[in-house]
Amino acid sequence: MPYTIKDISELTGLPPSTLRYYDKQGLLPNLRRDGNNIRIFTDEDYRHLRLIDCLKKSGLSIKDIRNFIDMAGQGDKALTGRLEIFRKRREILKQELSDLQTVLDVIEYKCWYYEQACDAGTESAVKNLPDSDLPEQFRKAKKHLYCTKR
C-alpha cells in the first residue's frame, strides 16, 4: 500500500522533516518517487523506518545506521558484518540495562528509606539500621551507596 509522507509520519510518529532527513542521508535507499518527485512510501519502507527507529534508540548514530544499510545492500556477503553490529549493540544494551537496574534499585531503596522515616516521624528510625534489619531486596543497593573502593 502506498503512503504519503504525511501518512508515514502519522504511522511512525516521526515528523516529515526527519523522514526527509533520513532520505537525504541515504537511510531509505529504495524509496520511490512519483512523477511529481513526491516521496511514495511502501509497507517495506515502513518496516525499514521501524528498524531505523530501533537502531537509533539502541544508540547507533545516523552514520552507523547508514553503514548498516549499505551492508544490507551488499546482500549475503555482508551478513557477518551485520550480525556483528547487532552483537555489539546487544552487549552495550545489556550493560546499560544492568547499570539502569542498579540505579532503579538505589531509587527503590531510597523510597523505602524515606517512607520508613516519614512513618516514624524521624530519619533516626532508619538512618543507622544494621543491614540485617533491612529488607533483603535493599541490602545490595545500600551497599552500592556506602561501600568505597580502595
pLDDT at residue number 114: 96
pLDDT at residue number 38: 94
pLDDT at residue number 148: 63
pLDDT at residue number 52: 97
Residue 85: how many other CB atoms lie within 10 Å: 18
pTM: 0.78
CATH number for the segment(s) 1-73? 1.10.1660.10
**pLDDT tens, the chain, 150 aa long:** 899 999 999 999 999 999 999 999 999 999 999 999 999 999 999 999 999 999 999 999 999 999 999 999 999 999 999 999 999 999 999 999 999 999 999 999 999 999 999 999 999 999 988 888 999 999 899 888 887 665
Residue spans per domain, the chain: 1-73, 92-150
